[in-house]
Amino acid sequence: MSILDKILGRDEEPADGDGPKNEAAGYTLKIRRYDPESGETAFWHEYDVDIAPERSVLDGILYAKDHEDASIGIRCSCRAAICGSCGVRINGKSALACNTRISDAQAKAGRGKPIVVEPMGNMPVLKDLIVDMDAVHWKKIQRVVPWLLPDGEPPEREYIVPAESMIDVTQSMACIQCGVCVSACLSLEVDPEFVGPAALAKAYRFVGDPRDGQTEERLRDLAEDPHGMYDCTHCFACIEVCPKDVAPMDQIMRLRRRATGDYEIKDKNNGYGHGKAFVDMIENWGTLHEAQMLPRSFGDGSMIKGQTEPGAVKQLVEALPTAIRGLKSGKVTPKAVLFHPKLPDQDNVRKIYKAIESQGERLELNLYIVADNSADEEGAMAEGTKEGLA
Amino acid sequence: MKLAYWPGCVSRGFTPELHGSMALVAPKLGLELVELDRASCCGAGVIAEHNQELADTLNARTFALAQGVDGAAGMMNICSTCQGAQSECQERLDADSGYRDHINGTLSDQGLTYEKSGEWWNKNFMWLLVEEIGLDKLAAKVVRPLEGLRIAPFYGCYIVRPTHRLGFEAHPNRHKYLDHLIEILGAESVSYAGSHKCCGFPVITMNRATSLRQAGRHLADAIDAGADCLVTPCPLCHLNLDMQQPDAAKFVERDLDVPVLHLPQMVGLALGLEPKELGMDKHVVKTKDVQVKVAEVAAA
Amino acid sequence: MPQHDVLVIGAGLAGQRAALAAAETGASVGVISKVHPVRSHSNAAAGGINAALDPEDSWESHAFDTVKGSDYLGDQDAIEVMCREAPDEVLRLEHLGVTFHRSDEGKLGTRAFGGASAARTYYVADITGQALLHVLYEQLMKHDEVTRYEEWFTTALARDDSGRLAGAVTRNIRDGSLELFTAKAVILATGGNGQIFNPTTNALICTGDGIAMAYRAGAPLMDMEMVQYHPTTLAGIGLLITEGARGEGAHLLNAEGERFMENYAPNKMELASRDVVSRAEQTEINEGRGFPDGTVALDITVVPRHRILQSLREIVNVGRDFAGVDITSEPIHIKPGNHYVMGGIKTDIDGQTDVPGLYAAGECACVSVHGGNRLGANSLLDTLIFGRRSGVHAAQMGRGMAQPTPAGSELAREREAIQSIISRDRSGRRLSEIKAEMGKVMDEQVSVFRDEERLRGALEVVKRLQEEVKTVAVDDKGSVFNQDVLGALELQFMLDNAECIVMGAIERKESRGAQFRTDFPERNDDEWLKHINLTADGDIPAVSYSDVTMTQWEPEERTY
């Protein structure tokens, strides 16, 4: 067999899942069990479950509980992806067990292999598939002051606010606090203090709410926190796994947009400086001039003004060996550090900057609200297939 | 195959060896690259973070320039971050005709229009190799199989997530292409925990610890899994994994010292190009051991 | 021994609202919930909340619709209270942060709902219950004077020597420890009991715990036979498709493509009250005009696509994930399915039950505002209004009162009961088998169409299962998150609920609201315009009756 055949043979994965691979046994769930009272470490156990392909992984686990071992621990309630109880990892991917079709999970696991179910990541395991949400998730939610703080007394009737603004924050309101994004977050993996995707999305729910009176304070708080909005590495893991299209990372980016664009919060984490340096550079040259990126980022984004925060100076110094290494390895020449060519028609790029800045208001297209005004089939691509592979 | 070619900023800045190796590999694969020398930075998500419309307009301009290249089959990039940032902008441009018209309005005095089309594509070199050239055709061109080399694929983020935006409906195995390429070129693909995780680069100036702990952890995992080197389709990942590796080692408190190849370098080696011409001497982490192994195979 | 002035059991909308209201009066409040509060089933109330807030609308109109919807079994004083207080309650929630849908002018906007003479349903897309629940939980996080006991399972109520409520016995699910809580007042807000039916729209946690505990503590249950079958649920798994879909204009079609509601409710069509629509569907199915899978179709494609995506997003997901149907492009198969219990613990308009110190609010209670049939978007309202009123009243009642002392040995008795289940060796069937048999018989014999013979048969099964569950064994012998033993306790609660539902259904020899007796197909106001009350009394509940409170609306023939 050639390598090519091997690759392709190994790879036969029907995208839509084609039902049980072994008709007699239905599906096999390989569940990570942990009993804190036993004194033993976690172990794996396999359960054969006989359910229809369109049923969920949760149905499979409930089948195992009903027929074989009711001591398997899993939180679950609604079965319909609204209560947020049954977050787990299925074949390594964080998800709600109730809205992961078992045949899809089988397709991902691969022919003849068990579907692997583990507790969520980034949170301590209490028993079997049950993790301690309080110790991580809810602590972080509490951290972002998760309640509306309006200015003054409420009006006699409702607050009058733009219709779009309510639909807009409904995206983060749609969060069911399942913790699936927390489980998948790659920053949390290395920085347990990171406020995290769910809590930051929750923060945007108030920052984006025109009724809230503490917008700037909220933004400043999360911009200055070293584990706040600038501790997200933009890895898309939360967007990929969110069962409710909350797109937590998009909400984090909106926090940054508001913090830098609307309030010009010059944080000590260089979030403002980094963004401004980047955007300004493209206006100047059209392409990135990395050699200037570092010095410009620290501080308020401008090397000339040089009003750097003490923390920024420290970070700049820490980063210097990197630049020196670049020169030493020969990949960066001194000339390249000093000189960066403009694009041949950089004026056209500047024109775009000017046109957009002159509009006054930032135009933001949120695909969560835009139900498409092109032809309908196009909208179906943007909206309807979002979770096709989730 | 003629292609509108967007090399991105970093391949012409801090990772010139990427740009150079792509230029050498292209003719070997029968690719004619028409470089988009007027196109601007994709914004890397940072411009969109600042102003979405600005990022969308700049990339619409790039797409329009690419669509203007006569006879091109499509557009190719060699940077995952460009792929991710541009796909994000393209998703918005394609979703709403009113928005698209507005953006095109801004470009109109430059004589440029981005046309939404099901035919037109923008693909990273990794996708292009598998989908447009084909693994079988590539296999036929291998003159120096990378036998004995254990290579850990590092996909990073922008080219694998979110799947709904990155064409996984039509190409469900895009998260395995690096593995496939490593194997078709004769090497062994190393499986390890960090292959699809984040290199940490986007916060290198904001939170050095978060950034380099990520890079360090994945490098360490790859080493522990027995990798001789890593390969990545993203020059920004390369910056954190290679250029920052000595500092990353401090954050994970262990020795690392594992070379990181750019995808065109790996392909180039198998197609018979020499390590030096592929810029493999210009890495921070020395690639000597890899070079030795490759030379041994060639001699045998 | 944790002590509070007011102890709230259950932390869905009614429980959270009660806790906040009690805390605002300065009372010490504890909230116990067997799941984290935001997991509560109030989440599932998708469509909205009714209130006559528009100056063009009136609370009287809302009240009349509710009275009529109830098939005149609702108590009109309670309905008046609910409808009068609705507008302020909705505004209150808006001020706390609920992201209600707005009109183009930025004011609160409405959608149409079943059985209503005006569009008075306020909503947040189709996640209204979730939005309300999460906003109330934000307030609980803000007010740390409310002590939360999250993931604590209450097994029994405790009374003092005088028979007044004095507290509750509760198991900490995380470590298995059992505590006796004392309180001057206990508010039950434990929700419904849909899990006794299979399928059901209800969550796995909806096991009628509070209803059974109140019943065992001597409180009468009222109108338990009134069980709502929702017209649009997915066959098989029972998941809910919100009435909001029909509110937005969706049609019901039989297998012949006919919009059959023309034959049953020519004026309101799909937006007739739920009992009417469910019976119409079941008739179509029974008479052979349904699909082979025992369903009819809901056609949402007549609603503009952008509107579906904007305001019915959740059911787009439900259709895609759970039925494999894109509801924006094709009809989805649905059938009537168990959804809500109108009956429950009998209370007055302040939530007081007949047992001093015991209150109930929300779905577990029967005030009664829903009578024989609940209108869509009145359940959220019920939870908030009577949750608040219970909280306020309970706190005031307890002021100046000494902390009561539970009599006897509830704690020891409960500990022993739990231990005996855990230590028992297996003999006989699994818990899941008993539950499955209960769910099947209830859905087959105690659903949309009922008759004496099949009801008697169901009662026999339930009585047998009650005996069987007494000796059931469990697999989990541990203390930490022993969900298995809690499942055994829940099953006992459910069987008490089931018995009362069947008893009420046998007792009511007429057809009214959700109860349709094929052997008594007419409404009979002369004999049955009254509530049926069931009280625990040895082997079989004791039956008594109470009057329906009438204020201004005399019973009329009910057409839509």
Residue in A157, A371, A380 closest to C306 by CB: A371
From C538, C214, C556, C183, select the one nearest C366 (Cα to Cα).
C214
- Chain A contact probe: residue of C102, C110, C127 with most A CBs at under 10 A: C102
CA distance A47 to chain B (A): 26
Q: Two tokens at C480?
A: 């930490």
- Chain B contact probe: residue of A2, A180, A235 with most B CBs at under 10 A: A235
Residues of C annotated as catalytic (active site), given as ranges? 274
Other C-beta atoms lying within 10 Å of the C-beta of residue B104: 18
- Per-residue pLDDT in tens (0 to 9) along chain B, 300 residues: 999 999 999 999 999 999 999 999 999 999 999 999 999 999 999 999 999 999 999 999 999 999 999 999 999 999 999 999 999 999 999 999 999 999 999 999 999 999 999 899 999 999 999 999 999 999 999 999 999 999 999 999 999 999 999 999 999 999 999 999 999 999 999 999 999 999 999 999 999 999 999 999 999 999 999 999 999 999 999 999 999 999 999 999 999 999 999 999 999 999 999 999 999 999 999 999 999 999 987 777
Q: Any idea which residue has 């998009």 for tokens?
A: A250
pLDDT band at A306 (very low <50, low <70, confident <90, very high): very low
pLDDT in the model for residue A251? 97
- Per-window interface: A 263-292 vs B, CB < 8 A: 269-271, 273-276, 278-279, 282, 286-291
Q: How far is CA C132 from the centre of its chain?
A: 16
Residue in C91, C174, C322 closest to A80 by CB: C322
Q: Report the distance separating Cα C498 and Cα C521, nearest Å.
A: 23
Q: Look up residue C317 and give its amino acid.
A: N
Q: Any idea which residue has 């060996």 for tokens?
A: A321
Burial (Cβ within 10 Å: 0-12, 13-18, ≥19) of residue C415: middle
Burial (Cβ within 10 Å: 0-12, 13-18, ≥19) of residue C196: buried
3-state secondary structure chain A: CCHHHHHHHHCCCCCCCCCCCECCCEEEEEEEECCCCCCCCCEEEEEEECCCCCCEHHHHHHHHHHHCCCCCCCCCCCCCCCCCCCEEEECCEEEECCCCEHHHHHHHHCCCCCEEEECCCCCCEEECCEECCHHHHHHHHHHCCCCCCCCCCCCCCCCCCCHHHHHHHHHHHCCCCCCHHHHHCHHHHHCCCCCCHHHHHHHHHHHCCCCCCCHHHHHHHHHHCCCCHHHCCCCCHHHHHCCCCCCHHHHHHHHHHHHHHHCCCCCCCCHHHHHHHHHHHHHHHCCCCHHHHHHHHCCCCCCCCCCCCHHHHHHHHHHHHHHHHHHHCCCCCHHHHHCCCCCCCHHHHHHHHHHHHCCCCCCCCCCCCCCCCCCHHHHHHHHHCCCCCC
Query: Would you call A99 an interface residue with chain C, using a CB distance cutoff of 8 Å?
Result: yes
Chain A residues whose CB is inside 8 A of the C308 CB are 371
Contact A182, A124 (CB under 8 A): no
Could you report the predicted ipTM of this complex, rounded to two decimals? 0.96
What is the arrangement of strands in the sheet containing B74-77, beginning at the earlier edge strand? B32-35, B2-6, B74-77, B122-124
Contact C502, C455 (CB under 8 A): yes
Residue in A236, A325, A370 closest to B157 by CB: A236
Query: Would you call A344 an interface residue with chain B, using a CB distance cutoff of 8 Å?
Result: yes
CA distance C440 to chain A (A): 16
- Per-window interface: A 192-231 vs B, CB < 8 A: 194, 226-227, 230-231
Q: What residue of C is the nearest CA neighbor of A160? A: C106
Query: Would you call C328 an interface residue with chain A, using a CB distance cutoff of 8 Å?
Result: yes
Residue in A275, A278, A348 closest to B110 by CB: A348
pLDDT in the model for residue A2? 65
CA distance A298 to chain B (A): 8
- Does B37 sit within 8 Å of A343, measured CB to CB? yes
Other C-beta atoms lying within 10 Å of the C-beta of residue A117: 28
Q: What is the DSSP letter of C376?
A: T
3-state secondary structure B207-269: CHHHHHHHHHHHHHHHHHCCCCEEEECCHHHHHHHHHCHHHHHHHHCCCCCCCEEEHHHHHHH
Subunits with 3+ Cβ pairs within 8 Å of A are: B, C
Residue in A73, A101, A373 closest to C481 by CB: A73
- Per-window interface: C 392-411 vs A, CB < 8 A: none
Q: Which distant-in-sequence residues (6+ apart) come within 8 Å of B248 by Cβ?
A: B212, B213, B215, B216, B219, B240, B241, B256
E strand or H helix at C456, and its extent?
helix C452-469
Query: Would you call A211 an interface residue with chain C, using a CB distance cutoff of 8 Å?
Result: yes
- Chain B contact probe: residue of A168, A195, A234 with most B CBs at under 10 A: A234
Q: What residue of A is the nearest CA neighbor of C329? A: A380
pLDDT in the model for residue A384? 29
Subunits with 3+ Cβ pairs within 8 Å of C are: A
Q: Read off φ and ψ for residue C169, nearest 5 degrees.
A: -100, 130
Of A13 and C266, more confident: C266
**Helical ranges in chain B per DSSP H:** 16-28, 46-50, 52-67, 80-95, 97-107, 125-128, 135-141, 177-184, 208-224, 235-238, 245-252, 263-270, 288-299
Residue in B41, B96, B206 closest to A372 by CB: B96
Please determine, for residue A97, whether its predicted confidence score (pLDDT) is greater than 90.
Answer: yes
pLDDT in the model for residue A370? 63
- Per-window interface: A 110-139 vs C, CB < 8 A: 126-128, 130, 133-134
pLDDT in the model for residue A376? 39
Q: Is the peptide bond preceding residue C199 cis, with omega within 30 degrees of 0?
A: yes
pTM exceeding the 0.90 threshold for the entire prediction: yes
Q: Read off φ and ψ for residue C282, nearest 5 degrees.
A: -65, -35
Query: Would you call A113 an interface residue with chain B, using a CB distance cutoff of 8 Å?
Result: no
Burial (Cβ within 10 Å: 0-12, 13-18, ≥19) of residue C423: exposed
Distances (CA, A) of B171 to A15, B139, B266, C381: 9, 20, 23, 48
> Tens digits of per-residue pLDDT, C423-445?
999 888 999 999 999 999 999 99
What does the mean pLDDT of chain A come to? 86
Q: Give chain A's end-to-end CA distance (angstroms, integer).
A: 32
Residue in B46, B48, B54 closest to A353 by CB: B54
From C367, C370, C494, select the one nearest C359 (Cα to Cα).
C367
- Does C314 sit within 8 Å of A82, measured CB to CB? yes
Query: Would you call A208 an interface residue with chain C, using a CB distance cutoff of 8 Å?
Result: no
pLDDT band at A200 (very low <50, low <70, confident <90, very high): very high
Report residues of chain C scoring pLDDT below 50.
none
> Tens digits of per-residue pLDDT, A108-162?
999 999 999 999 999 999 999 999 999 999 999 999 999 999 999 999 999 999 9
Q: Two tokens at C137?
A: 């939980």
Contact C/A (≥3 CB pairs under 8 Å): yes
Q: Report the distance separating Cα B278 and Cα B16, nearest Å.
A: 10
pLDDT in the model for residue A309? 57
Q: What residue of A is the nearest CA neighbor of B186? A: A3
Is residue B289 classed as helix, strand or coil in its secondary structure? Answer: helix
Chain A residues whose CB is inside 8 A of the C204 CB are 76-79
CA distance A49 to chain B (A): 27
- Chain B contact probe: residue of A253, A332, A356, A369 with most B CBs at under 10 A: A356
pLDDT band at A312 (very low <50, low <70, confident <90, very high): low
Q: What residue of B is the nearest CA neighbor of A336? A: B13
Chain C residues whose CB is inside 8 A of the A169 CB are 99
> Tens digits of per-residue pLDDT, A351-390?
999 999 998 888 998 888 764 444 333 333 333 222 222 2
Query: Would you call B35 an interface residue with chain A, using a CB distance cutoff of 8 Å?
Result: no
